[in-house]
Copies of this chain bind each other. A is one copy, B any other.
Amino acid sequence: MNKSSHSELFIPFLHLETLQHPRYRALFNYIQQRILSGQLPSNSRLPSTRELADLLSLSRNTVKQVYEMLQSEGYIETRQGNGSYISAQLAPNRRTQQARRQPAYQPIRLSTKSTQLEQIRPLYHQDREQRLLPGIPALDQFPWPAWQRSVGHAGRQMKFSRDQDYMGEPALRNEIANYLNATRGMHCTMAQVMICSGSQQGMQLTFSMLLNPGEKVLVEDPGFPGIDGAISNAGGIKVSVPIDRQGFRSDLALTPQQDARLAFITPSRNFPLGYTLSIERRLQLLQWAKQQGCCIIEDDYDSEFRFDGPPLTALQGLDGEHSVIYSGTFSRILHPAIRLAYLVLPPALVEPFNRMRGFLDGGLSSLPQLALADFMSRGLFASHLRRMRKLYKARRDYLRQRVDPLFAGQLRWEPSDGGMHSVFLLPAGSDDKAIVAQAMQAGLGIRPLSYYYDQQPPRSGLVIGFAGDSETQIEQALARLKPIIEQQLPLSAQI
């Protein structure tokens, strides 16, 4: 052992915590770092494998393996009959390596559009521990044992899955098409159904496909704020269109001067107010889209839960498969952990969307798709929805019955025939955001109605989820809300 073999450098290795790594990897990392730092300079000799094995009480094979790795990655070279040396070629680079330690380097620069996203209304974080949270189904009612059987089935089916294209598992697409045709008055085949990991992914894909930077998208105001990021990411311009009790004001929006490419709407139940788009405006929208070569995105987020009759007919069913992209999701109506959604595309868009999907994402895991297909084919999806429709109606009715006396003159229910949340208006001029900020502190997930407004003068109100809470939980939550509203509303305010 001579000085030039730097044996003393290995003493600290004996004291290192190496439990997290295999020993060969720990020793490799250790030597590599000392080479890069210059402590083991170019052309200097390493201890022999036998020396180092003795010193570190490692097997000689481990040390040999490390030296082979160092050699194959170019850190050391063997010189005939003379042991292992730090590579000569490393010399100039080691200087740059030392320079790297000075914090003179640049942080990675983000793209303009990613920094623009910081300007967008942030989405409320969905904390499932909160009560009265909109958009969350009754998690404790989800039929886990039945779902687990479907999951087991999917685990066995997975080996037969063939991803012939990027549209998704054929079994699931077939179930979805049948379901939509049977219950929503839609006309589609499984060939038009594309599975996505969430509505957001479907929107991102749609805007990539149909929108050039600088082009306009018509959106409802108030409306779904989650769409802003997807429009911004595509470089699109959002045009806010007011709504009334007949829904999206197509009479205002579809002027000859309006050169929008897309309309993103919630015809069955405006989000968050719950108004339904009238048949006249539906026909107006379809005519506009067809004449202009534009596309209507029908976001149908929770229309399954209509309490006063069957679900309304989807706009897609009126369209003749030309202009409407229908967007549906299972995360809201079944369970958030499922994270499966879908688009129903006009036939002419299937092939281009499929090609883009191949470049952008390449499709999703077959496992949850096969599980959901099995769950649907056994009738469990339909029966769960039926059960939830009854339960949510009872919860909605309970919420209304309790709010009316408790918050007389303070909160007024805005009529809607279904859904998973209700809107309660506050007296004009009251600060719904302040109420919500305080309510969140008290563990409530209610949202301020004004948050969903963009350009239109906002109405003040509370968006209160009822689907996920039992009557007892609703009762307790309202008791927590009461003092907050008392404190925030001036005594004179009345609605």
Report B-chain residues with C-beta under 8 Å of the C-beta of A105: 290-291, 293, 322
Are B182 and A21 in touch, CB under 8 angstroms?
yes
Nearest B residue to A234, CB-CB = B111
Are A118 and B293 in touch, CB under 8 angstroms?
no
Binds B, one of A157-165, A407-415, A463-471: A157-165
Are A111 and B339 in touch, CB under 8 angstroms?
no
Nearest B residue to A284, CB-CB = B93
The A contact surface, by secondary structure, is: helix
Nearest B residue to A367, CB-CB = B368
A279 within 8 A of B: yes
A191 within 8 A of B: no
A1 within 8 A of B: no
Are A355 and B117 in touch, CB under 8 angstroms?
yes
A383 within 8 A of B: no
Are B360 and A201 in touch, CB under 8 angstroms?
yes
The one of B108, B113, B200, B368 in contact with A323, judged by C-beta atoms closer than 8 angstroms, is: B108
**Closest CB in chain B relative to A180 CB, distance in Å:** 11
Report B-chain residues with C-beta under 8 Å of the C-beta of A456: none
Distance between Cα atoms of A314 and B35 in the complex (Å) = 16
Distance between Cα atoms of A450 and B118 in the complex (Å) = 43
Report B-chain residues with C-beta under 8 Å of the C-beta of A106: 290-293
A366 within 8 A of B: yes
Known: A93-B280, A152-B155. A182 touches B22 (CB 8 A): yes
Q: What is the oligomeric copy number?
A: 2
A3 within 8 A of B: no
Are B209 and A114 in touch, CB under 8 angstroms?
yes
A16 within 8 A of B: no
Known: A106-B293, A279-B90. A287 touches B337 (CB 8 A): no
Are B163 and A73 in touch, CB under 8 angstroms?
no
Distance between Cα atoms of A147 and B157 in the complex (Å) = 12
Known: A106-B290, A209-B111. A362 touches B197 (CB 8 A): yes
Nearest B residue to A118, CB-CB = B355
Query: Which of A32, A144, A197, A349: most chain B Cβ within 10 A?
Result: A197
Are B346 and A198 in touch, CB under 8 angstroms?
no
Query: Which of A117, A204, A291, A362: most chain B Cβ within 10 A?
Result: A362
A312 within 8 A of B: yes
Known: A74-B279, A154-B151, A181-B20. A162 touches B361 (CB 8 A): no
A358 within 8 A of B: yes
Per-residue CB contact flags for chain A residues 263-293 toward chain B (1 = under 8 Å, else 0) read 0000000000000101110011011001111
Binds B, one of A64-72, A396-404, A423-431: A64-72
Are A286 and B365 in touch, CB under 8 angstroms?
no
Are B346 and A363 in touch, CB under 8 angstroms?
no
A233 within 8 A of B: yes
Known: A210-B110, A313-B69. A339 touches B366 (CB 8 A): yes
A457 within 8 A of B: no
Are A364 and B212 in touch, CB under 8 angstroms?
no
Distance between Cα atoms of A22 and B121 in the complex (Å) = 43
Are A360 and B200 in touch, CB under 8 angstroms?
yes
Per-residue CB contact flags for chain A residues 165-179 toward chain B (1 = under 8 Å, else 0) read 000000000000010
Distance between Cα atoms of A107 and B213 in the complex (Å) = 20
Are B148 and A155 in touch, CB under 8 angstroms?
yes
Report B-chain residues with C-beta under 8 Å of the C-beta of A371: 155, 367
**Closest CB in chain B relative to A316 CB, distance in Å:** 13
Are A111 and B208 in touch, CB under 8 angstroms?
yes
Distance between Cα atoms of A361 and B292 in the complex (Å) = 29
Are B28 and A313 in touch, CB under 8 angstroms?
yes
Are A110 and B73 in touch, CB under 8 angstroms?
no
Are B142 and A20 in touch, CB under 8 angstroms?
no
Known: A108-B346, A229-B360, A364-B197. A159 touches B181 (CB 8 A): no
**Closest CB in chain B relative to A90 CB, distance in Å:** 7
| CB<8 Å pairs between A and B, sample of 9 | A20-B181, A22-B183, A69-B310, A117-B359, A148-B156, A197-B363, A230-B359, A233-B356, A340-B365
- Interfacial residues, chain A to chain B (CB-CB below 8 A): 20-22, 24-25, 28-29, 32, 36, 65, 68-69, 72-75, 87, 89-90, 93, 96-97, 99-100, 104-114, 117-118, 120, 123, 128, 139, 142, 144, 147-148, 151-152, 154-156, 158-159, 161-163, 178, 181-183, 185, 197-201, 204, 208-213, 226, 228-230, 232-234, 261, 276, 278-280, 283-284, 286-287, 290-295, 308-310, 312-313, 317-318, 320, 322-323, 335-340, 346, 348-349, 352, 355-356, 358-368, 371, 417
